[in-house]
Amino acid sequence: MTRSASRAVELRLPYRAPCDVDGLVRFFAARAVPGVELVADGVYYRSVRLEHGGGVVALRAGADDVEAKLWLDSADDLDAAAAACRRLLDLDTDPAPIVAALGRDELIGAIVRSAPGRRVPGVVEPDELAIRAVLGQQVSLAGAATLAGRLVRAYGEPLEHPVGAVTHLFPSAASLAAADPEQLAMPWSRRRALIGLATALAEAEVVLDVASMAQDEIELRLLALPGIGPWTVAYVAMRALGDRDAFMPTDLGVRHGLERLGRDGRPPGANALAEGWRPYRAYATQHVWAQLAAPARPESHAAATRAAPARPESHAAATRAVSNTP
């Protein structure tokens, strides 16, 4: 990183152990948007938009806390930046009741007990998360990052003090609402969804903050927008609104993770299994997603008889489930 270290403020962010900070860094690394995010040597760097200016934060796992380094345009934003880092890494969660509840589950209990520090990745800017969820519909992680990187170059705000390759703030909802649809390199239906969402956010028709708007109202207003379906709404609820019970039964990552566990991962089966994970379905989802990175388990005869044969996904299901999950 090239920015002067003398301008950085160093903090240590405590949490209730255990917390898999390295796992969160890997999650963000797989989705890093060029110009906005970077992971290098186990450190997650990203830009942040704050009340008095921009900044860059760098986060890494410490011995029993998170080591944070913050470069801020204004010292008045220090407390807000630290709070944003805590939200991003889900540091205020007490894992004990979650592990106690999910650790008893017949299907995922052993997985939860073996990885009790797994957290739900959060956000520093809820609007950014919602926009990126739309960009990621039906494309790979790399494809979604590429699309987002193009938006950053075209509509993002350059940082007054960049840190290495972290050079821009993610585009504001207002800047994207004013974008020329013809200049957006994506299918027309996604352009319409992106600009419709950005306009709703910029004009405060949708406010992604449960302190300002009830979650039920947020979800209803999102669903009323073109191109926004239940998957996107649940994903936003999970990561941006802090809904610990959010669940996406049509998610391809959930489907494939459940199939690796020997269960039917189609939406009806996923919904039925997830009933036993309430009120922590968002955390259960992290453990199911993690199965996609784990070595495949030898399938027992009993598991094979429980799992339904995979079928080609219908077009309707494909439009609801996107591939920007692990």
3-state secondary structure of 64: coil
Q: Where are the alpha helices (DSSP H) in the chain?
A: 21-29, 78-89, 95-102, 109-114, 126-135, 141-155, 173-177, 188-202, 215-223, 230-239, 252-260, 267-274, 281-290, 301-306, 315-320
Catalytic residue among 20, 127, 243, 251: 251
Cα dihedral sign for 177, 180, 185, 189?
positive
CA distance 5 to 23: 26
251 is known as an active-site residue: yes
Q: Cβ-count burial of 165 within 10 angstroms (0-12 exposed, 13-18 middle, 19+ buried)? A: middle
Contacts of 134 (CB under 8 A, 6+ apart): 190, 193, 194, 197, 227, 228, 232
Q: Cβ-count burial of 66 within 10 angstroms (0-12 exposed, 13-18 middle, 19+ buried)? A: buried
Which residues carry out catalysis?
A: 251
